[in-house]
Amino acid sequence: MLKVNLLSFEDLTEEEKEIQPNNGWGKEYANYIKITDSENTVMILSDAFEPEDGTFTRDLCYVVDAIKEAYKIGLRDGMKLKGVN
C-alpha cells in the first residue's frame, strides 16, 4: 500500500537522516516527503537545496521519478483489488 507523508527531519530514521543532503539552510531544517510501499521506503524527497538550484531540471528532477513510481505502485495495487495478476 502506497503512503506519502510530509515529515520533519526528526521523523526520519537515523539511517535516513545520515543520507539526506545538507543544502540550503541544512537538512535539520528541511521538510521531507517520504514515499513508502507497505513497510519499504521507496523514496525520500527533500526541500534542502539552494534556491538557484530549485528547478525541475536540477534539484527538483526527482519529483518526476516520484510521480512515476507512485503511478506504478497505484496500478499494481489497483490490479490486486480487481483480482488481475
**Where in the chain are the domains?**
2-82
pLDDT band per the 50, 70, 90 thresholds, residue 54? confident
Q: Give pLDDT, residue 16.
A: 96
* Confidence tier at 58 by pLDDT (50, 70, 90): confident
pLDDT tens for residues 18-30? Answer: 999 888 788 999 9
Higher pLDDT, 73 or 53: 73
The pTM of the full predicted model, rounded to 2 decimals, is 0.81
Closest C-alpha among 48, 38, 43 to residue 69:
43
pLDDT-derived band at 48, boundaries 50, 70, 90? confident
CA gap 23, 20 in Å, rounded: 9
